[in-house]
DNA sequence: AATAATTTTTAGATTAACCTAAAAATTTAA
DNA sequence: TTAAATTTTTAGGTTAATCTAAAAATTATT
């Protein structure tokens, strides 16, 4: 069945919200991410339900159907593969690719996506450490921890970020916090939950709790 | 000023029609290429004129303004660069890329286009032999001849095609008529204007006038 | 449990891009 | 040069996606 860019974006947003919870997704939550009004969302949810892509009962929230999930994953796959292309082949920085990938994710051609995947060497993750769904719609669970949840004196490795905004990524770059960076937590301040941390064995610096919340790590020791 | 995909497609179509003539372009001609009705075209032409991208007087036809020309050329540039990408990097055949490039040409990012250009080695033409407009909107005139206009016993080289349809390009491929192929015209039949021609020194075969009309060649001898 | 606050939906409009049918202008041809 | 044919425009509607304002349902609070 034909699908519009807008419908694709709604499915993508519902998918993203569903990753964080097992509850049904509220109209308002969708409205916020779609940068639109709740009334518009209600209209669209009824339409998506008619098409069989979501399960929706009014006032009860929404969740993706199996088919909706499949569509959402194919968009995520395209988005992340294009991000790899933009960074690895076009030479963009990781903070520059999100907006462009938002456009490229709507290009319709299974053949192209799979050739691109091959051309890029079947990458497992995008430039922000997010896993790339496979051709048949399987998205590997990564299960990394948020830096803000790690106890003091632990050492860990930066595996991904929980936010793609340019300002956030630029800050990380400035702090030398790239994918793969080694983080040795020296101390956590009770007052503001800021973290005193050594990056790649350099002299320790302070990182705010807000930043730490959005950094995903694997614990090394 | 913001521009929609539809508006971009109208400008592209008007540009294409303008290449073939110095006259103003008729509403019907635009309607045919846009696969829509004349009434819809009238609406859109008024809108494009309001935005300053075309000069349009009702009943007098339309032509691109300087600014409209600039936009159209940037779309053509993107379309052709993406076609090169699809053939050279993704391994598509020349008859498979038009539809995908129709989508990719609307991706908005000057930075991406210029990086892509560089990545592809600043190609001069697309996989069909069409010239690629430069960053500053200069489209080199190629001035090749139509095979149908060449006299018998001349030899020439296939430099491009005047049509991108998959069926046409697949036929050429089947006949071994690729970019750069050598064509030795043995005879032209008065009856149906079909051409008896040797391709790359192989045994001569017949080519219909309809096919010959859409083949662009450079005369060698 | 009743009321207040919040969330969600409905009702009624708006805009972009399209449509059909009819009217008006232009072009062609007798 | 007038009538016929064609082209183009206007008038009035449709659909997708949005909006605001008001009504209805749900959730939270006393």
Q: Do A107 and B104 touch (CB under 8 A)?
A: yes
> What long-range pairs does A204-207 form, CB within 8 A, spacing at least 24?
A205/A175, A207/A147, A207/A175
Bigger pLDDT: B219 vs B83: B83
- B116 CB near a chain A CB, below 8 Å? yes
What pLDDT does residue A152 have? Answer: 87
* Chain A CB contacts of B85 below 8 Å: none
Q: Say which residue the tokens 């350099």 belong to.
A: A202
Mean pLDDT, residues A156-160: 94
What pLDDT does residue A205 have? Answer: 94
Q: How many other CB atoms sit within 10 Å of the CB of residue B70?
A: 15
How many Å lie between the alpha carbon of B107 and the closest alpha carbon of chain A?
6
* CB-based contacts of A53, cutoff 8 Å, min separation 6: A7, A11, A64, A65, A67, A68, A71
pLDDT category at B161 given cuts 50, 70, 90 is very high
For B59-102, the pLDDT digits (tens) are: 999 999 999 999 999 999 999 999 999 999 999 999 999 999 99
C1'-nearest nucleotide to the CA of A42: C9
3-state secondary structure A131-199: ECCCCCCCCCCCCCEEHHHCCCCCEEEEEEECCCCHHHHHHHHHCCCCCCCEEEEEEECCCCCCEEEEE
What pLDDT does residue B148 have? Answer: 94
Q: Among A85-94, B10-19, B130-139, name the one with the lowest average pLDDT.
A: B130-139
State how far Cα A82 lies from the chain centre.
14
What pLDDT does residue B141 have? Answer: 82
For B198-209, the pLDDT digits (tens) are: 999 999 999 999
Residue of A nearest to B97 (CA): A112
pLDDT at B221 exceeding the cut of 90: no
CA distance B169 to B173: 6
* Chain A CB contacts of B100 below 8 Å: 107, 109, 112
Tokens standing for residue A176: 């030398």
Residue of A nearest to B111 (CA): A92
Per the CB < 8 A criterion, the answer to whether A175 and A205 are in contact is: yes
- A89 CB near a chain B CB, below 8 Å? yes
How many Å lie between the alpha carbon of A87 and the closest alpha carbon of chain B?
11
How many Å lie between the alpha carbon of A103 and the closest alpha carbon of chain B?
6
Instruction: Report which residue is nearest nucleotide D10 when distances run from CA to C1'.
Output: B39
CA distance A87 to A38: 36
Q: How many other CB atoms sit within 10 Å of the CB of residue A133?
A: 21
* Chain B CB contacts of A105 below 8 Å: none
Q: Which domains are delineated in chain A? A: 5-64 (1.10.10.10), 145-219 (2.30.30.90)
Average pLDDT, chain A: 95
Which ipTM did the prediction report? 0.87
What pLDDT does residue B21 have? Answer: 93
pLDDT at B178 exceeding the cut of 80: yes
Question: A81's torsion region: left (phi>0), alpha (psi -120 to 50) or beta?
Answer: alpha
B26 touches strand D (CB under 7 A): yes
For A69-81, the pLDDT digits (tens) are: 999 999 999 999 9
Per the CB < 8 A criterion, the answer to whether B127 and B97 are in contact is: yes
Q: How many other CB atoms sit within 10 Å of the CB of residue B97?
A: 28
Mean pLDDT, residues A117-127: 97
Tokens standing for residue B131: 């010239």
What pLDDT does residue B1 have? Answer: 81
For B140-157, the pLDDT digits (tens) are: 887 899 999 999 889 999
- A115 CB near a chain B CB, below 8 Å? yes
Residue A128 CB-density burial (10 A; 0-12 exposed, 13-18 middle, 19+ buried): buried
* Chain B CB contacts of A107 below 8 Å: 100, 103-104
Per the CB < 8 A criterion, the answer to whether B55 and B49 are in contact is: yes
Mean pLDDT, residues A170-187: 94
* Chain A CB contacts of B112 below 8 Å: 86, 90, 100
Q: What percentage of chain B exceeds 90 in pLDDT?
A: 91
pLDDT category at A140 given cuts 50, 70, 90 is confident
CA B205 to C1' D18 (Å) is 59
CA distance A94 to A125: 13
How many Å lie between the alpha carbon of A6 and the closest alpha carbon of chain B?
14
State how far Cα A176 lies from the chain centre.
21
pLDDT at A200 exceeding the cut of 80: yes
Instruction: Report which residue is nearest nucleotide C6 when distances run from CA to C1'.
Output: A28
What pLDDT does residue B152 have? Answer: 87
- B6 CB near a chain A CB, below 8 Å? no
Nucleotides, chain D, CB distance < 7 Å: 7-12, 16-22, 25-26
Instruction: Give the 3-state secondary structure of residue A48.
Output: helix
Question: Inter-axis angle of helices A66-84 and A5-19, to 10 degrees?
Answer: 100
């Amino acid at each position: 069945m034909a699908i519009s860019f807008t419908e694709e974006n709604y499915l993508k947003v519902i998918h993203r919200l569903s990753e964080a919870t097992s509850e049904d997704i509220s109209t308002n939550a969708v409205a916020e991410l779609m940068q639109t009004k709740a009334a518009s969302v209600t209209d669209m949810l009824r339409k998506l339900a008619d098409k069989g892509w979501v399960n929706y009962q009014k006032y009860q929230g929404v969740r993706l159907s199996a088919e909706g999930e499949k569509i959402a994953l194919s968009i995520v796959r395209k988005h992340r593969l294009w991000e790899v292309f933009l960074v690895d082949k076009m030479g963009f920085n990781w903070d520059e690719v999100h907006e462009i990938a938002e456009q490229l994710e709507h290009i319709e051609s299974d053949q192209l996506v799979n050739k691109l995947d091959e051309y890029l060497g079947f990458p497992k993750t995008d430039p922000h450490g997010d896993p790339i769904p496979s051709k048949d719609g399987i998205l590997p669970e990564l299960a990394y921890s948020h830096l803000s949840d790690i106890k003091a004196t632990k050492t860990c490795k930066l595996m991904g970020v929980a936010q793609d905004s340019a300002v956030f990524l630029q800050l990380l770059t400035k702090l030398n916090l790239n994918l793969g960076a080694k983080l040795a937590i020296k101390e956590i301040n009770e007052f503001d939950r800021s973290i005193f941390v050594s990056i790649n064995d350099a002299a320790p610096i302070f990182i705010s709790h807000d930043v730490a919340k959005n950094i995903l790590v694997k614990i090394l020791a």
